[in-house]
A and B are shown apart, each in its own frame.
Chain A
Amino acid sequence: MTDETKLDNELAAFTDRLLAGQDAQSTPEIDALAQVVRQFHYLADPASGPDPAFRDRLAQRLDQEWAAIQAENQVTSVESQPVRSDRQVDSGLSDLFVPRAGSGSRRKIRNLRRNRTVWLTAIAATITVALLVAVLIDVGDESATGTASGNLDWPVVVGIVVVAFLGVLVFWLGQRSKS
């Protein structure tokens, strides 16, 4: 056993005894460190936990907060879903916490799928527009210079498409994280 390992074990054993409320005598080798442990123990003695009155007060406060969140969520749910069954309204807090779980999960999945379709369509439309813009730019260049190469500047086109795609993707991810 190395000296350091011995010190590690002694300090750990000393801490165990101190926290167990036993007579915590330290050896001369760890005396300085043991003093620090004693001081920290004085600061953060785990035996002196929260006051029972505070525990109850906080439990009550959390109860109120829970109810407030539930009420808030019910209002939001009713506003966003004008036609809902009673069962769905009752699951308000569940909808807030886990959109994928609970009684409204099928509706949520349907909405998500619909959103995906909308966004995929938007991405496709953006790419098409970007391609059209690229073609128009290319035609414009040809008219200006009088050349008739007939070839698109493909690196530019690919660049525009990639930038457009990334832009839409970033926007989409931003929207998802907001929701």
Chain B
Amino acid sequence: MNADGNEEYLAQCAQQGDREAFMKLYDLYIDKVYNRVKSKVPASYVEDVTQEVFIAVLRSLHRFEYRSRFSTWLYTIVNRQIADFYRQRNRASDAPEVSLDHVDYFLSDSAFSEHGEERALVQKAFNTLPDHYQEIILLRFADGLTFAEIAEQREQSLEATKSLYRRAIQALRDEMGV
């Protein structure tokens, strides 16, 4: 049984009430989820958002229907929770529209006092990238997959994967305006 198959099996066991199976999934994904959240929200909120992700996963686990990989389903929840985080911040600051474009907010965050501006700018630029660009960067950085593993997961050639990665970094550079 490969790693992914194992994850789906664990999800199935957890759906049937096996708490240990759920905690195994937690152990498998805590680092990856945390790193993904860290890439997209200010440092002082990473733990809160990560916690919300896992609670949301626990509460909606019964809705996982094996139409996709478990990781794909989980990362959808990660993205939703991150979007919710920004939506709530927007509401709190009476911002007129929902957006991930929050550089001013980042800059005012105390967690970013050291090298804050640079981090905020990178994060802001990253959040504005198209999903497929964000995803390939996160697969390499947050999930720690090699390019060969990413290629396998995306069912594309290694060359195409590396090319997509370079274009994603180029797009990030363009967004940062450097």
Q: Chain A residues in contact with chain B, CB under 8 A? A: 4-5, 7-9, 11-12, 15-16, 19, 32-33, 35-37, 39-44, 46, 49-51, 54-55, 58-59, 61-63, 65-66, 69-70, 91-94, 96-98, 101-102
Contact = CB atoms under 8 A, between A and B. Distances in A.
B141 A8 contact: no
A41 B53 CA distance: 23
A51 B122 CA distance: 23
B107 interface: no
B23 interface: yes
Interface of B: 12, 14-17, 19, 22-23, 26, 30-31, 34-35, 38-39, 47, 50-51, 54-55, 58-59, 61-62, 115, 118-119, 122-123, 126, 137, 140-142, 144, 146-147, 159, 162-163, 165-166, 169-170, 172-173, 176, 178
Contact of B162 (A8, A69, A70, A101): A8
A41 B22 CA distance: 30
- Among the interface residues A46, A62, A102, which one has the most CB atoms of the partner chain B within 10 A? A46
A66 B159 CA distance: 44
A65 B16 contact: no
Given A62-B55, A96-B62, A9 B172 contact: no
B140 A19 contact: yes
Given A33-B170, A98-B16, A46 B35 contact: yes
B34 A50 contact: yes
Counting from the closest, the 10 A-B pairs by CB-CB distance are: A94-B17, A97-B15, A8-B162, A93-B17, A44-B39, A97-B62, A50-B34, A12-B162, A36-B173, A49-B31
Given A33-B170, A41-B141, A58 B30 contact: yes
A73 to B, nearest CB: 9
Central interface residue in B34, B50, B61, by most chain A CB within 10 Å: B34
Task: Tell me if A's interface is mostly helix, strand, loop or mixed.
Answer: helix
A32 to B, nearest CB: 7
A50 B47 contact: yes
A49 to B, nearest CB: 5
A36 B22 contact: no
A65 to B, nearest CB: 5
Contact of B144 (A9, A39, A46, A91): A46
A102 B16 CA distance: 7
Given A32-B178, A44-B38, A61 B55 contact: yes
A26 B149 CA distance: 23
Contacts of A101: 15-16
